[in-house]
Amino acid sequence: MKAKDVMTVDVVSVSPDHSVRHAARIMLDHRISGLPVIDDDGRVVGIVTEGDLMRRSELGAQALAPVDRQFSTEENNAGAYVKSHSWKVADVMTEDPVKVEEETPLPRIAALMAERGIKRVPVMRGGHLVGIVSRAELLRVLITAKFDATAPGDDAIRRSILTRLREDAGIKGDELALTVADGLVHVSGAVSSQSERDAVRVVAEGVRGVKGFFDHLSLA
């Protein structure tokens, strides 16, 4: 799946010249935790989030403002003051946010969120905002995901498990004794780590038609 398959297309945004109060009101009204910031030319110039607004002086939390390592201490203090006191979105937003294209695969988006510690990414088409993907959209994919198709029958289940062990988990299934009877999977043999042991179980449990998994493995 790609960004275009899951993105929210009715994106609520703010202008860099809007007030912080206006941004907070929109977040509350729409029950969202972040907003893309769009300039007069339609460009995404930033993201403003609940996290940015939690550093406000009104909350007595200006000391929580992040320190940008590229500036001196004096400039850090000044920058923190601006973010905690300014009433202009442009001053508190995160500039130059991570953006993706419509064709960006979901695994790449999930990796970007994990790497950058972010919760949402604007989706672009030809330089214009067409949607947004948040962690919520990825969670919806998770809860609606279906088991991969597997042909019926114990032999098909066994072949599917062995293939996935080899190709997906990097485990040589021919070193294991794997039997399937009426959908019940029994695996014995030796694996090199608890992680490999867990991977065998996860692979088996993810195959359609498996009714139960019995672990007779030992650690080498």
Please give the share of the chain, as a percent, with pLDDT higher than 70: 89
- Summarize pLDDT for 15-36 with one digit per residue, the tens: 999 999 999 999 999 999 899 9
* pLDDT at site 61: 54
pLDDT of 118 above 80: yes
* pLDDT at site 130: 93
* pLDDT at site 20: 92
* pLDDT at site 69: 43
Provide the CATH number for the domain formed by 3-144 in this structure: 3.10.580.10
Query: What ranges do the domains of the chain cover?
Result: 3-144, 154-219
- Summarize pLDDT for 187-205 with one digit per residue, the tens: 999 988 999 999 999 999 9
pLDDT of 54 above 80: yes
Domain 154-219 -> CATH class: alpha beta
Helix (H, G, I), strand (E, B) or coil at 40: coil
Task: Tell the residue number behind the tokens 């996860």, with chain if given.
Answer: 202
- Summarize pLDDT for 140-182 with one digit per residue, the tens: 887 776 666 667 799 999 999 999 998 888 887 667 899 999 9
State the alpha helices, DSSP H only, in the chain. Answer: 3-6, 20-30, 50-53, 73-85, 89-92, 106-116, 135-144, 154-167, 194-205
* pLDDT at site 63: 46
Mean pLDDT across the stretch 43-50?
92
**Which residues on adjacent β-strands are paired with residue 124?**
101, 129
CA distances, 177 to each of 42, 157, 209, 211 (Å): 60, 14, 19, 18
